[in-house]
Amino acid sequence: MKWWILCCLIACSTPNSQQQSESTPYTFGKASRDGIGKFFKGREIAQVMSAAGGFWLERDSREEEEGVSQAIAALMPKDRAIIVDLGAGSGYFSFRIAERYPTCSVYAVEVQDAFIQYLEKQKEAKKLERVQVWKGEVNQLPKFSQPVDMILMVDVYHELEFPFEMLQQMHKALGPNGELVLIEYRGEDPNSPIKPLHTTTVQQLNKELDTVGFELAKKLDFLPMQHFLVYRKKR
């Protein structure tokens, strides 16, 4: 039996407490309605939205509700940058980034096969060869042949099953001046219509990213409901 399964079984037997193994940065406890019962720095990791809900990513109201064009404009990557859209889903951001920044290379990385198939079809339909569709793993970042300039996660970070390991790999993959951009629904907002586990606070994110050597370099508050946060490697 794998160690993490054993930890989960132990945790489930004591629903009102969290159990921690000496060999993991995580604690385990009873899963809430929208969580997986695995905690990182006190935050329960949220369940992943399945590809069956992909229509929500492509909804007509998304531009107005989330200010997508403004968010993409705020990325401001350097010329010929390598941009990774991690947890790309339907590619809503990936393809728009490629259209907005024609000299940049975009990697749409996704773990769900249904999304991978959709991304491939969209790439062909839009004739955007600069968008590379890559299959990812829940605990492994793809290997890039050269340092990455930007890693973007849009409403994805809170669903990472292995955030500590993935952050370590992102830190390694980014170049010296590389940026990790997180767009997350604001957990500080008591009126947010989003389920609590699918929101995050800046304080919590700073605590988690600090563990692997990231620091908050820029915090922009122009989006209607989300944080726009830029992290860089600590100097």
25-50 pLDDT, tens digit per residue, is: 999 999 999 999 999 999 999 999 88
Query: Of 69, 113, 74, 65, which Cα lies nearest the Cα of 92?
Result: 69
pLDDT in tens, 75-117: 999 999 999 999 999 999 999 999 999 999 999 999 999 999 9
- pLDDT for the residue numbered 53: 79
Q: What is the pTM of this model?
A: 0.90
H/E stretch holding 222 reads: none
Q: Delineate the domains of the chain, giving CATH numbers in brackets.
A: 3-46 (no CATH), 51-233 (3.40.50.150)
Amino acid 39: pLDDT: 98
- Closest to 173 (Cα-Cα) out of 151, 148, 153: 148
**pLDDT score recorded for residue 19:** 57
Assign residue 95 a region: left if phi > 0, alpha if psi is -120 to 50, beta otherwise?
alpha
Mean pLDDT to the nearest integer, 173-194: 97
CB-based contacts of 185: which residues, under 8 Å, 6+ apart?
155, 192, 194, 198, 199, 200, 225, 226, 227
Say yes or no to pLDDT of 4 above 80: no
Q: Angle, to 10 degrees, between the axis of helix 202-210 and the axis of helix 163-173? A: 70
Least Cα distance to 214 among 180, 185, 177, 164 occurs for 180
Identify the band that residue 51 occupies on the pLDDT scale cut at 50, 70 and 90. confident
Please, are residues 138 and 180 in contact by the beta-carbon 8 Å criterion? no
**Exposed/middle/buried for residue 202 (C-beta within 10 Å: 0-12, 13-18, 19+):** middle
The mean per-residue pLDDT over the stretch 124-132 comes to 95
